[in-house]
Structure 1
């Protein structure tokens, strides 16, 4: 869609060239949502492509994902064999309600910053203890745990002029065993519930609930919980008003499926 209110496009090549943020500005990465509907309040786009951030970096600390990394680039990453959680990358990429064309354009950072409950990049990076690096307009930066970054449906901790630079996944999280469950109302529909479980070497289990809830929820257990312990923990951690309600699933059904998928994950990890 043409954005006929845009009067300027900035293309910085370094951080120092980023223009001062003003009302009517928007960051442009993949643009798959930005160009999908009218944006009457926008007047300038700040294109991040020329900043040239490396899409993915693998080192002794783990995996660093640039906000401008495309879904296709992330899906194609070759992970070390001892990263037992690596299958989650492909599983979450395939949880998108998107074609291969969108995969090549849509960015990890864009999906996270949209902050929709069904954002699979939120699911992935939350489950793997991702840490967001945020550039501030005054030249500083701050870090936020991915679990805390999204605060609600289409809401997050970004302030005016702040920019998500990257998400760092720690090595320890990548070496945990994992299990993935996702369900939609239709075979290729938007996720109505997406639950990821990870198992540490000490037997500790972490369950991360997304899509069914308005923001990511983490449940932690010292060992694989039994059915009654799991039900009680989910009931305490997720009040009824935290379940998302839209055309892709009613709250009572999302609640039921969250418990069902969590049970399946615990059985698999056990």
Structure 2
């Protein structure tokens, strides 16, 4: 969609270019920004020209995912968890090539697949401030509610850091654009998602990941904001509200999410050999 109110466009090539003028907003993939009218937006600042590397190894064995990394790059990582969690978000392969990980998280929709995946992985968002500072916050708390994050005006997410403790699987090589490879360990986990329609938006997304100390489970889609369960915690102990919209009633979401939590925990406990070939729940 044409944005008739936009009169300026800037490509950010260094951090100083990220200072927003009145009416400006950040642009990454643009799959939501250009999907509907934005009457308050008069200018856009393109983050993709900053040249952030999509995937980078971290000291100690972790993995950094740039905020501008296309979702398709995450989906293609070795290990079933990446692809199955990504498929919890209804989108075509064309959208996956353009939509970014950071955009999906910062949009703060309940059905944000990257939010659920990164919360289960215990990832931290690296946030750049307009004053030149930097702060870190777990993805699970960055998203505060429907269309609501902790980001202040002018803050931008630089990357998401996945700790090595959440990458308990075997090492694998990942081909990088332009040549070269990246060696990273894969997460061990399980995914379930359900929709009221065969090809509808997920009303429930549950992701479990084995960590160094146990199993971490995230619930998204079914709740206004991400919910993370550690060992011994049940949804009834932690969830304070179940989301209610056209994609599912609260009681349905609670019942399905509770069942899924038990299933993914059992699957992770059984080991990689018990991994399912599909994390999709049949139409409810």
Both proteins in one fold, TM over 0.5:
yes
CA shift, 1:215, in A, is 0.7
Matched, 1:185 2:185: no
1:70 is displaced (CA, Å) by 0.4
**Are residue 42 (structure 1) and residue 53 (structure 2) matched?**
no
- Structure 1: give runs of 5+ residues left out of the alignment: 80-85
In 1, are the aligned partners of 2:89 and 2:201 still within 8 Å (CA)?
yes
Structure 1 window deviating more from structure 2 (258-267 vs 158-167): it is 258-267
Match of 2:238 in 1: 237
Deviations 1:66-119 (A, max 9, x none): 111001122223x5xxxxxx3211112222211111011100000000000100
Structure 1 counterpart SS, 2:205: strand
Report how far residue 261 of structure 1 moved.
Answer: 0.8
What does residue 55 of structure 2 align with? 56
Structure 1 residue 264: deviation in Å?
A: 1.3
Look up the match of 1:159. 152
The 5-angstrom pairing of residues 200-215 of structure 1 reads: 200=211, 202=213, 204-215=214-225
TM-score (norm 1): 0.88
Relative to structure 1, is the Cα distance of residues 22 and 201 closer, same or farther in structure 2, using a 3 angstrom cutoff? closer
> Number of paired residues?
250
Find the partner of 1:149 among 142, 161, 171.
142
Give the alignment's Cα RMSD to 1 decimal: 1.5
Counterparts in 2 of 1:201 and 1:148: CA distance versus 1, 3 Å: closer
Q: CA deviation at 1:187?
A: 2.0
Counterpart contact for 2:166–2:212, Cα < 8 Å:
no
- 1:13 match: 13
Q: Match of 1:30?
A: 29
What displacement does 1:201 show? 5.1
State the match for 2:256 in structure 1. Answer: 257
Aligned to 1:102, the other structure's residue is in SS state: helix
For 2:198, what is the secondary structure of its paired residue?
coil
- Equivalent residue number for residue 226 of structure 2: 216
Q: Partners in 2 of 1:62 and 1:188 — Cα distance?
A: 34
CA distance in 2, matches of 1:209, 1:161: 29
Unaligned runs of 5+ in 2: 169-186, 270-284
The Cα offsets for residues 216-246 of structure 1, whole Å up to 9 and x where unpaired, read as 111112xxx6xxxx6xx3212113xx21111
Deviates most, 250-259 or 88-97: 88-97
* Alignment partners' CA distance in 2, 1:105 and 1:200: 30
CA distance in 2, matches of 1:177, 1:111: 23
CA deviation profile, 1:25-52 (whole Å, cap 9, x unmatched): 1100000000000000110100111111
SS of 2:230 mapped into structure 1: strand
The alpha-carbon distance between structure 1 residues 201 and 107, as it changes in their structure 2 partners (threshold 3 A), is closer
**Residues 13-36 of structure 1, C-alpha deviation per residue, up to 9 Å, x if partnerless?**
111233x32331110000000000
Q: Give the alignment's TM-score, normalised by structure 2.
A: 0.84
Q: Look up the SS of the partner of 1:133 in the other structure.
A: strand
Aligned to 1:83: none
Match runs of 1:22-171 below 5 Å: 22-59=21-58, 60-77=60-77, 79=78, 86-171=79-164
The CA deviation string for residues 98-151 of structure 1, in whole angstroms up to 9 with x for no partner, is: 111101110000000000010000011100010100110011111101111100
* Cα separation, 1, equivalents of 2:54 and 2:237: 38
CA distance in 1, matches of 2:224, 2:39: 26
